[in-house]
Chains A and B, each alone.
Chain A
C-alpha cells in the first residue's frame, strides 16, 4: 500500500473523492475530469476486493453515489465530486480492485466524466483544505 499523499493538482470532495480536471480545447465550456477515491478513503476501507464501475453514459450528480467499492468487511458508496456524464471507465478494476489501494490517484482511477456544471468546482477543496478536514 502506498504512503499517505494528497496531490496538489487535484480537487477534493469532503466525502473522500478526488477530481482531476483537464481543459478540453475542443469544448472549453465542458472540460473532462477523472475521478477516484482518496488515499484516506482506501486506507479506511482496507484491502479493496471488489469494484464494478458504472457504465459509460451514466449521469453523475455532485454529492450523489455513483459506484460502490467493497473491502472484505463492508461496502462503501463512492460519491461524485462533480456532475457529468461518464465517457470512460477503468475496466481493469473489475479484475484488479487492489489498484485502488496501490495507486489511488493513478491506476486506481474510477471513471472519466464530461462536466455538465463546471462551476461546481468552486465547491471542492484543495489538497490543504481536504487534509485539514481529516483532522
Chain B
C-alpha cells in the first residue's frame, strides 16, 4: 500500500517518526504516523530504523569508558551507612556538641536535685570559709552553744542558735559580718577539726516573705569543702570543713542529702 496524500509538514514529520512508540507524545506526529501506518513505504522505513537502532545499541562500551559511569561506587544516597554518616565532619561536630550539651544538662539537673532553699548562700559561705584565717575572727574560747546569747545581746541576732550536735565544741573565735546582700552572718571557728560554723538568715519567698523551710540536714560542696546545713526558726546553720560528707558522720546522724 502506497503512502496516502500527506501535507509537506506531515511528510517531514513522517521522516522523523520515532523508532520506538514511546516517542509519539507529539500530537501532530501521532496524526502523521497514524495516517501512514499501513503504507509499505512507512513500514519499510520503520523496519529500517529499528534495525539500525538495534545495531547502535550493540555498540560496545570499552571498559575504560565504562569506568566513568560504572555504578559500583555511586555516591550520595546509594550506599548510605551509619559508619559513613558518622565519619561526616558535620555529623561528628553536631554529635559532640549534643553530647556536651546533654552532659551539662544532666550535671545541672543533678545539681538542682540537691538544691534546697539557701543552698546558694551556703556555697558562697564555703568559699568564705576556705579563705578565712583565724586572725580575722575575735578570739573567743568558750562552748559554741553559748555564743547564741552573745549574738543576741551584742548584735541583736535572734535565733542564731548553734544546734545541739555542735553546741559542746570549744571555739577559737567568732565574728559577725554582712555579705553582699547586707545579710548579717555569724561565723564561729571551732577547735574541733578546725571546723567553721555559719549562721545566716534562711531564704524567704519573694512575694509572701515567708521562710522557706526544709527538713533535716542537707549537704553542699564547693572547692573541696563540704557543708552540712539545717534550718531552724528562720535561721540556717551550716557546719563547714575541708573534706567530704563522711567527716560529719560522727556529729550528725540520719542526715539527708
Whether A and B are associated in the same complex: the answer reads no
Binding site for A on B (CB under 8 A): none
Binding site for B on A (CB under 8 A): none
